[in-house]
Structure 1
Amino acid sequence: MRTLAPLNASAEVLTGADRGVHVRGPDTAAVLAFRSGADGTGLVVLGPRTQASYLAPADAPRCVTVRLRPGRAKAALGVTMSDLVDRVVSLRDLWGTPADALLNRLSARDDTEVAHGLAGALEERVRAGSAADTARADLVDAAAGLLTGAGRVPEVARELGVSERHLRNLFHDAVGLSPKRYARIHRVRSVLAAAREEPWAELAAETGFYDQSHLSADFRTVMGVPPGAFRAGRLPAPVRCAWSLL
């Protein structure tokens, strides 16, 4: 995975050579994807995902994704993030003909060029925003950073000098999730990124859960299986990737 400045987006490449079940974990961020397969080439947007999905081996031989920071997604994509939660939409539905022009420019490029082309197009959208848009995005980014640590909603609101209500409204608009749900999903993602052999009680303490039982409950809610079953590879039956259904 590569980090792309100045949006601080990150890019990842998946190919049809990948085998086995692909686990797409919950995610607090929106993702822009360039997808190329037997059924054609296109640009799709994945909204924030509140639950994991388990996908069969990819039909697409090539997919380049760019994951956006929470505070920048609304300005970059031009839509309130609450409208995209748990959805996959064509970029053309959001941008219209500029999406077609971007797709034409990227179709013959290699993966690195595609990733930077996507990030550049998103950056242009962000830069076209107002100073007020930038200030709101900075506030959301700051709040997101505090929430992914040990910060709780009342503490984060006080730290940033805003009311809890204002913070929740900002998150609903810019992230599509409540601050509490954002923090819960981030903690589960931290568990997924941690060493698989580490005891669950230790992981709970390291990733911000109150205790192991809270980790288990939140993990099962968003991953669809208990943490022990996930670690043992007992996963739900895979489904077809929704990107190919657009």
Structure 2
Amino acid sequence: MQVVAHESELGAWCMAFAAPAPLLAGIVEQYVGYHESGTAFLSRREMPGTSLVLIINLGAELRITDTLGQQFCFGMGQGFGAGLSDSYATSETGGAQEGVQVFFTPLGARRLFGLPLGDLFNRVVRLEDLFGAFAAELAERLLATDDWAARFALLDAALLARLKPRRREAALAATAWAHLAQSHGGITVSDLAASLDCSRKHLTHVFHEQVGLTPKTSARLFRFRHALSLIDAAPANINRGSIDWCHIAFDAGYYDQAHLIRDFRAFSGSAPGDFLARRLPDNGGYTG
């Protein structure tokens, strides 16, 4: 388990990162436990990514505005799952929060949620609507301890108990997803379909059910997340004028800087420079 702590005029936060149990490899990517207080900002932009997420709130009220503008409030012991999306969401607090976040692979989420992931595209779904009475039971167990290792062990056991059999169609989607990940979205959909000996139409159909996005949008998200990783590799105090955006665009696989800017506006709601100004240090995310 890795723990990152921050304290400054921005506020104080502590985040614990852990891998899942070996039996959940390929299903769960990572667990994150977080606690923060006294933040000088009340909202964050939650960037779209290549993982589906599940969040259980263990503290003060958490408010979410999804990519479609729908608003949700989650009190202590409540939570939600969110599908893949093509734009950012917003989270708001009163300056303090605590909770656990689970990052799933799309194929893992398909097996755990038990519904086509196209049904979750751009959506936030309350935990009780995904898991029924099991949701409250899991939250109660998590609230009964404040030890992150114990909480992650509880998640391991709970998720393993709910894991559904792998579907036959998942093999094609898993291989295609791996190709997109390895290339950071640099492979064309035509080349991807050809490498898998299937049609673009069939690949798109499989992606809709097993992933929730089209192959083309998935590739764009991998490219965008790669650009974010390149930005995050820069010192946190670097200003927007100090980054070579043409270099970032080239390394991330964009045609040119204008291509990078278009995707940043679509996914984050900001141009790259303005986006950089929203970055918080020590894995704090991005201000709203």
State the TM-score, normalized to the length of structure 1: 0.83
Distance (whole Å) between structure 2 residues aligned to residue 200 and residue 194 of structure 1: 10
The residue aligned with 1:199 is: 244
SS of the residue corresponding to residue 37 of structure 2 reads coil
SS of the residue corresponding to residue 161 of structure 2 reads helix
Say if 2:38 and 2:96, in contact at 8 Å, map to a contact too.
no
- Aligned residue type for 2:31: A
What is the CA distance between 1:218 and its match in structure 2?
0.8
What is the CA distance between 1:57 and its match in structure 2?
4.8
Distance (whole Å) between structure 1 residues aligned to residue 196 and residue 94 of structure 2: 43
What is the CA distance between 1:210 and its match in structure 2?
1.6
Moved more, 192-201 or 68-77: 192-201
Say if 2:51 and 2:84, in contact at 8 Å, map to a contact too.
yes
Show CA shifts across 1:125-176 (max 9, x none). Answer: 33x315xx1x433332221121231221111122222222121111111111
- Aligned residue type for 2:53: V
Show CA shifts across 1:214-240 (max 9, x none). Answer: 111111111111112222349x983xx
237 and 104 in structure 1: CA distance in 2 versus 1, 3 angstrom threshold: closer
Say if 1:16 and 1:57, in contact at 8 Å, map to a contact too.
no
1:54-133 → structure 2 map (5 Å cutoff): 54-57=90-93, 61-109=97-145, 110-126=147-163, 128-130=164-166, 133=167
Distance (whole Å) between structure 2 residues aligned to residue 137 and residue 213 of structure 1: 35
119 and 79 in structure 1: CA distance in 2 versus 1, 3 angstrom threshold: farther
1:1-246 → structure 2 map (5 Å cutoff): 1-4=17-20, 5=22, 6=25, 7-17=27-37, 19=39, 20=41, 21-38=43-60, 39-57=75-93, 61-109=97-145, 110-126=147-163, 128-130=164-166, 133=167, 135-148=168-181, 149=183, 150-195=186-231, 196=234, 197-233=242-278, 238=288
The number of aligned residues is 234
- Aligned residue type for 2:19: T
Distance (whole Å) between structure 2 residues aligned to residue 118 and residue 125 of structure 1: 11
Task: Choose between structure 1 and 2 for higher RCO, CA contacts under 8 A separated by at least 6 residues.
Answer: 1
What is the CA distance between 1:117 and its match in structure 2?
2.5
Say if 2:86 and 2:266, in contact at 8 Å, map to a contact too.
no
Structure 1 unaligned regions, length at least 5: 239-246
199 and 119 in structure 1: CA distance in 2 versus 1, 3 angstrom threshold: farther
Structure with a larger share of its residues in helix: 1
214 and 163 in structure 1: CA distance in 2 versus 1, 3 angstrom threshold: same
